[in-house]
Amino acid sequence: MANYIPYLLLTVISIGVLLWIFISTKDLSYLVYYFLIAGLAYVFEYIILILMNSYTYKPHLVSIGVYDSILGDLSSQAFSVPAAAILVTVYQVRLKGVLPLVILFMGIEKLFLYLNIYDHNWWRTYYTGIFLFLTFFLSKWFYRMIIKVTLLRFVALFFSLIFFLSNGLFLLFLVMPEVHFEVGWFENSYRDNIAFSTLLIIGESLLLTLALYIRRYSVIGILFLFTLVHYYFVQVRVFHVSNEYVYLILIGLTVSSYFFILWGNDIWIKKQTKM
């Protein structure tokens, strides 16, 4: 059996659960909440997977090891964990329902280890259980708080935007591996690329969210700033691009991300007015 098949099955099931929730509830706030949970999961994985090398996914989808591991990670942190968290939030699942769900995920992790399509470096399965239990417990509470507290709505948009931008940029790296950042933090240049580009994404997400919150900065100004930053990194040989079309892709990604948070903000506001 090919390594990617269990990952694919887990992803398909998770997407099915998400679609069923979104269609049955007809509530778009759960969709934007999904992006928040996935964004938080991405930041968490950035720390323990990229910076701390906690474990390795092996779906064997691409030849670049770091990128292959990230693709495997997406099956978990972009789909299955957020799907379970949304399920717990929508139906307010209590402790007796959360515990079997956590045990199920721990069992899946053990199965992936047994199949040799996933390896622990220093991570342990019970760490997964602890963090999942906290995630499911906090997801129910945080959803209610976003609706009540305006500032938390923008915190939610910030993490949602990190997920949106990071996946857009990662897709660019997959399609055009010659496009990359190189700062020398790690011996592996691809790990180096993800480590540095993620920090840029966090900064870009923060500025775009602040632009929406403060309403004093136009998206044109933000685009100009980011273009200058990218150009500077090219000049100092930190950012390597293959052609000028890469700039247009980055500008398009930034513009689309701004409209994404405008949409998400509008959904949260409508949810607040209904409460």
Residue 216 has pLDDT above 60, yes or no: no
**Residue 256 domain boundaries:** 167-275
What's the full length of the chain, in residues? Answer: 275
Mean pLDDT of the 191-214 span = 91
- According to the model, what pLDDT value does residue 101 have? 94
Count: domains in the chain:
2
Q: Same domain for 116 and 222?
A: no
Q: Please, what's the largest Cα pairwise distance for the chain?
A: 57
Please indicate, yes or no, whether residues 119 and 207 belong to a single structural domain of this protein.
no
Sort strands 55-57 and 180-181 into parallel, antiparallel or unpaired.
unpaired
Average pLDDT of span 6-32: 94
Average pLDDT on 113-140 reads 94
Same domain, 208 and 140: no
Residue 219, pLDDT > 70, answer no
Domain final residue, candidates 87, 120, 148: 148
159 falls within a domain: no
Specify if 216 maps to a domain: yes
pLDDT tens by residue, 41-67: 999 999 999 999 999 999 999 999 999
Is residue 86 located within the same domain as residue 27?
yes
Residue 258 domain-assigned? Answer: yes
- Do 15 and 109 lie in one domain? The reply is yes
**pTM summary value:** 0.92
Q: Quickly state the pLDDT bin for 103 (edges 50, 70, 90).
A: very high
Selection from 86, 107, 95, 87 nearest residue 133 by Cα? 95
Cα separations (Å) of 92 from 24, 84, 98, 136, 192? 15, 12, 10, 10, 40
Q: Domain ends where: 148, 179, 208?
A: 148
Q: How many CB atoms lie within 10 A of CB 13?
A: 13
- Indicate if 174 and 257 belong to the same structural domain: yes
